[in-house]
Amino acid sequence: MRTVTVTGHGEARVVPDSAVVRVAAVHRAAGVADALAGADSAARQAVATGREHTTPERIGSTAVQIWPTHDQRGTPTGYEARHSLTMTCQDIDTAGALLGALVQAVGERLQIEGVSLEVTDRAPAETAAREAAYADAVDRGTHLAGLAGSELGDPQAVMEGAYADPPVGRAMKASLDAVALEPGELAVTSSVTVTFQLR
């Protein structure tokens, strides 16, 4: 039995509707205990602020670190402690308001590690991308079968792979009250490898 194997590609675009905010509470001090206490105090303030914008189960610690600090000459100057947190918001406007509130509440002990925009329900976009990928595979297979002087037959095997590109959006703008986050679009893509019988 003669066969042809092709890989089709499909894409669907969707607007992100939620956000994950990653921040760290950071504090420097001469001693380990003071550095850790300062970071803990800032983290508690960050968590309290976060709970005003999202639910407690969507706030979590991801790391607590402490290390020695040095000046430009390599002389020890003390210690720096860092308490990293993630906060998931139901919508992007809330995430922007949360960032502004964290800046006001935590001040210079706050570091913003990043914000990722996400899609709450990816299933419809994944389905659309998969359907487009399979249709592309059929088109490619039909073309190749014709070049070989044959017709495309029934599929014998199908293998899928899918992934999502980062959001393609506009710039973030910072203000004292909030951070304006622009959702842009998220490209959900799929690849489908199909082996067809040649008739």
- Per-residue pLDDT tens, the chain, 199 aa: give them: 899 999 999 999 999 999 999 999 999 999 999 999 999 999 999 999 999 999 999 999 999 999 999 999 999 999 999 999 999 999 999 999 999 999 999 999 999 999 999 898 989 999 999 999 999 999 999 999 999 999 999 999 999 974 445 544 443 444 445 667 778 888 889 999 999 999 9
Instruction: Tally the domains of the chain.
Output: 2
Residues constituting the chain? 199
24, 94: one domain: yes
Q: What domain range includes position 66?
A: 18-118
pTM: 0.71
Compute the C-alpha angle 109/115/121, nearest 5°.
145
104, 38: one domain: yes
Sign of CA dihedral 89, 91, 94, 95: positive
For residue 108, the domain's CATH number is 3.30.70.2970
Beta bridge partners of residue 116, listed in sequence order: 20
28, 102: one domain: yes
